[in-house]
Amino acid sequence: MLICIAAEGGEVCAHFGHCEEFALFETDGENVRPLKRVPNPGHAPGVLPSLLKGWGVTHVVSGGMGNRAVALFQSMDIEVVTGAQGGLEEVARALAAGTLVAEPNVCDHSGEHGGGHCRGRTP
C-alpha cells in the first residue's frame, strides 16, 4: 500500500488540495516506512488525482476534500479517507493497521472553491 497524506506543519492538513506538501508512506500492512515529502504542485481541479495515480498511490488521507476530488480518486481505484487528524506517521500507522478513526469530512463543498468553505482548521 502506498499512502499519501496531505500535510501541513507535520500534521494532516484540513484540505487536501491546499496542503503544503504530500507525505508518502509505504506499508506492507505491518511495517510503515516514510518515503518522502513532496511539495504540493498547486491546486487545480482534476490534476492531483492523476499525478498521485502516476506515483502509484493507493490511499489518500486528508482532513477534508471536495466531492469532485473524492469521485476522481475513487474512479482511479484510489481509496479516500477524509476527516483524519493528527501526526503524519501516527495516521499512516493507524490506516495500515485498520484502526484509523476519522471524523466527518471537514470540506463542505462540491469541488468549486468560489462559494464553498472548509470547516475546522484552514491552512
Note the pLDDT tens digit of each residue in 45-59.
778 899 999 999 999
User: Using CA atoms, how far apart are residues 45 and 21, in angstroms rounded to an integer?
Assistant: 17
**For residues 26 and 102, which has the higher predicted lDDT (pLDDT)?**
26
Q: Which tens digits make up the pLDDT trace of 30-45?
A: 799 999 999 999 877 7
**Confidence at residue 114, expressed as pLDDT on a 0 to 100 scale:** 40
For range 89-98, the mean pLDDT: 95
Superfamily the domain 1-56+69-123 falls into: Dinitrogenase iron-molybdenum cofactor biosynthesis domain (3.30.420.130)
Mean pLDDT comparison of 44-53, 61-70, 98-107, highest-scoring range: 61-70
> Is 120 a residue whose pLDDT tops 60?
no
* Band of pLDDT at residue 121, cut at 50, 70 and 90: very low
What is the spatial distance between Cα 60 and Cα 24, in angstroms, rounded to a whole number? 9
Residue 115 has pLDDT above 90, yes or no: no
Mean pLDDT (whole number) for 5-28: 94
> Which pLDDT does position 106 carry in this prediction?
63
What is the overall mean pLDDT for the chain?
85
98 Cβ contact partners less than 8 Å away, ≥ 6 residues apart: none
